[in-house]
Structure 1
Amino acid sequence: MSEQKAAFTPPNLFLATLALSLATFMQVLDSTIANVALPTISGNLGVSSDQGTWVITSFAVCNAIALPLTGWFTRQFGQLKLFIGSVVFFTLTSFLCGLAHSMTELIIFRALQGFFAGPMFPMCQTLLLVIFPPMKRSMALALLSMVTVVAPIVGPITGGWITDNYSWPWIFYINVPIGIFAAVAVWSQLRDRKEETQSLPIDYIGIALLVLGVGLLQVVLDKGNDEDWFSSTPILVMSIVSAISLITFVIWELDERHPIVNLRLFKDRNFAIGTLALMLGYAAFFAINIILPQWLQTQMGYTATWAGLAAAPMGFLPLLLTPIIGKYATRVDLRILTTISFLTMSASCLMRAQFNTHVDFNTIASVQLFMGIGVAFFFMPLTTIVLSNLNGSEVAEGSGLATFFRVLGGSFASSLTTWIWQRREIIHHANLTENVSRYSPETLDYLNKLGGPSEQHFAMVDKTIETQAYMMSTIDYFWLLGWGFLGLIGIIWFTRPPFVKPKLSNESPVSGH
């Protein structure tokens, strides 16, 4: 087969690519769009805000369970049927989420929605690699990385706007027309492609261990910070059970003739190191997207909309640069491109570490804009490295596993970021208040400028100290992230070129540097 010919060419490549991208955009968007609407949803359904967070947790838990199963689902049903089925059921459960009349119903439908969302991104990645010629597959992965970056930025802004101007069910209803279009268009374009499936024995023990281990781990990550981690008995018990289940799962799968998850993929050097760099890099990237809006809203007086607008410039340069990177990336050692990404994102974090409580909107937005350079060079090179030595059905398996670890990295970042941020604030607050008392000359002088000692003025002083403590904690965290990104550069250079593009079924290998 010619190097320039795709494994399968759809009648309309543009339509197929658009439909695949829209489905992925819808799925990634839905992982963040409900976050800002939680207070409204909880209030309308008559539950506490703590109960409302299960709308997010249930989605995340089932999504994390489904992702490692993608390879097995692919072997059983085929890539196209799995993708179409996932989109159809994701769309249906989105509609049911909008119809929910109680929190219990909404949590159940969100759990199902999360499960059906699991295979969508890996299958989109695999199908894009199928329909694009080998020399243009970097462009396909670049397009997908652009969707992955933009959707989480658009999600909170869109969710807030819909909730404020319409009603919360519409954050789920908007998936319906997109899902129908994506399913119909992809099926019409790829239905003539031949696929081979295998009817393999079901590894029930592997599934049970995976569900128990990953499910409990995700609950621990989502609820750990709220429950003060291991000082909470339920969190401690779930952590122990999860660890035992996952260790047993790994031992069982490595010895299983028909494993539910192909852990042997980690024998490949590029897949193992690339997945590690992807997980850690995405965790650090995700942490930035968590701590910055929190700090802006809780300490700097920004509304949710303005915090979203301050973060949004991060997506501009990836929109412009990603097509160029995708076109020319194969001419460069991909480790160099990844290094550019990590260096840029490190520099952006170190810039934020210079912020103070008087930093203005334009400065914050300009640093976000600069970080967009790093984001543009992040996903496509790393994904290509991860999948570089995989063949045939291994591409779908590897994509599902890599996506699982990327999502897991985001979950770790989500939990640990808030915990570290609050703990550092407590330490800084204690240090700052050591010299603040009713008898301190400096304190009395400051209070006199406010109008004299009073409970109200002492409260104002405490609020000022709290703001400064959170500022110092934010600076600490950005220093940590900045040095963390620099450390990832050392990891990625352990991968080994040449980075061969993923070889799909019935296709000759094609090398690229």
Structure 2
Amino acid sequence: MSAATAAAGDEARAASGGTNPWAIAMVVSLATFMEVLDTTIANVALRYIAGGLAVGPDEAAWVVTSYLVANAIVLTASSFLAELFGRKAFFMFSIALFTVASVLCGFAWNLESLIAFRVLQGLGGGGMAPLAQAILADSFAPAKRGQAFALYGLAVVVAPVIGPTLGGWLSDNASWHWCFLINGPVGLAALGLMHVLLRDSPGAAEARQRRRKAGIRFDLVGFLLVATFLGSLEVVLDEGQRKDWFGSTFIIVFATIAILAFVAMIPWELTRKNPVVDLRLLGRRQFGACFVVMLATGAILIATTQFLPQLVQEYFGYTATLAGLALAPGGLVTVAVMLVIGRVMNLTQPKYLIAAGATMVALAMYDLTRLSGESSFWFFAWSRIYIGIGLPMIFLSITAASYEGIAKSQIDQASALINVARNVGGSIGVSFAQNLLATREQFHQSRLVEAVTAPNPAYQETLRAATAYFVSHGTAAVEAQRQAVAWIGLQLQTQVAYLSYIDVFWALCLLSSALIPLALILSRTEPHGDAPMAH
């Protein structure tokens, strides 16, 4: 071992309190892997969850959106709470809450209990992501941080790849409950290792003492306003279609609460010295544009991760495992492209990579509009591969572009807001796509039913041919006609579903296309080696 290598090792150990920093990196990455895994593992299992709890697919979507919203809410407060209580204490609390909530999700007895436990799970998970990056930065000497963040980034990227396939396999071969129960032993292992290995750095302890002496307090009012706004908005988006939107007093009440919380939040946060959300950042053209891009990207990513498995399971007869495997090639491509983009970013301005990524995602959505009853496994897999090429261009480039012109003291806020944008965008995307699907199903149903009438020669010919088919297979004439009518009705419903999903993919295609000019107005950036990573 060279003297330089030994010196670097000693420096790294000093930064990590004497513990091997790579052991800390492994534990932090394990906890992060578990948290990110839960953003996708339940998507493929939603059909089983809906059946097991006797609810519709649109109601089961709450399992995804409630987690994302709770995760986003706690992200806004995680930095302050970590400084107040110490990174180790808050990180361990987050892991413990996430693990306990995961086990409770596995034992949920109805949809309401599952949603409540998913909210707790999201609150625990939201505190882990930003802390993981700060812990790694403290544990490693500057020269080694790049390798540590590469390990962390690998966990962030691989987890969504494994999530759908693992969730599908567990649902098919055990039960959907195990999609959550599997976090129990992993969480306990991470918690025990974290207790043994992790120490708060002297610098973090000193910063905590300075904050306490300065009398800086947590912006509780701002936090409650943010939570009220996001929570009420999600209720409106998820329940609006089922409750006839503003024809329902329930929806009117929650919409009013969301508007009042949003209106009150703006002046309150703009006048605080230590706001839970620094709204001034969103007023900057550069950061505001990056926030919107991440919002839309999260919507596309999470919506497609839910809707593709839902589509192939309901109308193409896929098992949950096969539905997860249809997403897997795209995830593998994402890992490979991230490694390439990490090098290309040093040679190309982020705004061009974001525009290229948005173009690729738009083409992927356009490709999905070719959906038909003849679509094969690889039709869906290739669409996900195209998305897997485009998304890393956006996610990695957003990090570089969003920190341009941001003061060092605002980096934690900026990192939290970018992650909030991804989660809130994902939640809104799922709700929007679900509502659009239901609305377009009603439209196409009414249009196609107009053609299924007795006077229509085409309908009569189809009915005659279908009846003859059933008679030829030994069915009595009267019963054969009933079966023929039922078969025509089934074909109509299937066609309605195809057309409705195509409309959703068109909407996501237009949303992706809108990101291209938005990306091109971004300013030129300089490299930021220590910028936190959005995931």
Under a length normalisation based on structure 1, what TM-score does the superposition of the two structures give? 0.85
Indicate whether 1:71 and 2:79 are aligned.
yes
Q: How many Å separate the matches in 1 of 2:459 and 2:217?
A: 74
Q: Bigger CA drift: 299-308 or 106-115? A: 106-115
Q: Bigger CA drift: 184-193 or 114-123? A: 184-193
Equivalent residue, structure 2, for 1:194: 203
Quick one: which of 333, 343, 353 aligns to 2:349? 333
Q: 1:112 to 1:363 in 2, by over 3 A?
A: closer
Shift of 1:502: 6.6
Q: How many Å separate the matches in 1 of 2:219 and 2:292?
A: 26
Letter in structure 2 aligned against 1:256: R
Shift of 1:240: 1.2
Letter in structure 2 aligned against 1:179: G
Equivalent residue, structure 2, for 1:462: 489
| 2:120 match: secondary structure | helix
Contact 2:294 2:398 in 1 (8 A): yes
Q: 1:208 to 1:287 in 2, by over 3 A?
A: closer
Equivalent residue, structure 1, for 2:170: 162
Q: How many Å separate the matches in 2 of 1:225 and 1:312?
A: 32
Equivalent residue, structure 1, for 2:514: 487
Equivalent residue, structure 2, for 1:49: 55
| 1:176 match: secondary structure | helix
Quick one: which of 496, 499, 512 aligns to 2:526? 499
Q: 1:172 to 1:227 in 2, by over 3 A?
A: same
Equivalent residue, structure 2, for 1:309: 325
1:413-471 CA-to-partner distances (Å, cap 9, x unmatched) read 11111221222233223333333321222222222221259333222222222222222
1:319-345 CA-to-partner distances (Å, cap 9, x unmatched) read 222223224422321122222211111
| Equivalent residues in 2 for 1:137-152, closer than 5 Å | 147-152=155-160
Indicate whether 1:350 and 2:350 are aligned.
no
| Equivalent residues in 2 for 1:268-287, closer than 5 Å | 268-287=284-303
Q: How many Å separate the matches in 1 of 2:109 and 2:304?
A: 35
| Equivalent residues in 2 for 1:88-127, closer than 5 Å | 88-98=96-106, 108-127=116-135
Q: 1:378 to 1:186 in 2, by over 3 A?
A: farther
| 1:427 match: secondary structure | helix
| 1:377 match: secondary structure | helix
Q: How many Å separate the matches in 2 of 1:246 and 1:18?
A: 40
Equivalent residue, structure 1, for 2:28: 20
Indicate whether 1:380 and 2:388 are aligned.
no
1:368-387 CA-to-partner distances (Å, cap 9, x unmatched) read 22332112323111123223
Quick one: which of 256, 262, 276 aligns to 2:272? 256
Letter in structure 1 aligned against 2:517: G
Letter in structure 2 aligned against 1:155: G
Q: 1:101 to 1:311 in 2, by over 3 A?
A: closer
Equivalent residue, structure 1, for 2:309: 293
Identical-pair percentage: 32
Contact 1:71 1:261 in 2 (8 A): no
Larger C-alpha radius of gyration, 1 or 2? 2
Equivalent residue, structure 1, for 2:254: 238
| 1:367 match: secondary structure | helix
Where structure 2 has 5 or more consecutive residues not aligned to the other structure, the ranges are: 1-7, 469-479
CA RMSD for the aligned pairs? 3.4
Letter in structure 2 aligned against 1:480: A
Q: How many Å separate the matches in 1 of 2:109 and 2:423?
A: 30
Shift of 1:40: 6.2
Q: How many Å separate the matches in 1 of 2:380 and 2:46?
A: 26
Equivalent residue, structure 2, for 1:510: none
Contact 2:219 2:276 in 1 (8 A): yes
Q: Bigger CA drift: 297-306 or 406-415? A: 297-306
Q: How many residues align?
A: 500
Q: 1:137 to 1:283 in 2, by over 3 A?
A: farther
Q: How many Å separate the matches in 2 of 1:502 and 1:227?
A: 49
Q: How many Å separate the matches in 1 of 2:222 and 2:300?
A: 31
1:270-293 CA-to-partner distances (Å, cap 9, x unmatched) read 322111111112212222223322
Q: How many Å separate the matches in 1 of 2:482 and 2:239?
A: 36
Contact 2:371 2:502 in 1 (8 A): yes
| 2:346 match: secondary structure | helix
Contact 2:330 2:388 in 1 (8 A): yes
Q: 1:351 to 1:193 in 2, by over 3 A?
A: farther
Q: Bigger CA drift: 262-271 or 91-100? A: 91-100
Equivalent residue, structure 2, for 1:226: 242
Shift of 1:216: 1.6
Contact 1:126 1:396 in 2 (8 A): no
Q: How many Å separate the matches in 2 of 1:356 and 1:99?
A: 38
1:186-220 CA-to-partner distances (Å, cap 9, x unmatched) read 56256445211223224343233233222222222
Letter in structure 2 aligned against 1:486: S
Equivalent residue, structure 2, for 1:508: none
Shift of 1:492: 1.6
Quick one: which of 15, 24, 37 aligns to 1:29? 37
Q: 1:260 to 1:144 in 2, by over 3 A?
A: same
Q: How many Å separate the matches in 2 of 1:101 and 1:468?
A: 35
Letter in structure 1 aligned against 2:495: Q
Letter in structure 2 aligned against 1:76: L
Equivalent residue, structure 1, for 2:420: 404
Contact 2:79 2:131 in 1 (8 A): no
Quick one: which of 439, 445, 452 aligns to 1:429? 445
1:67-108 CA-to-partner distances (Å, cap 9, x unmatched) read 222233244235454333322332243345456678776555
Q: How many Å separate the matches in 1 of 2:111 and 2:450?
A: 46
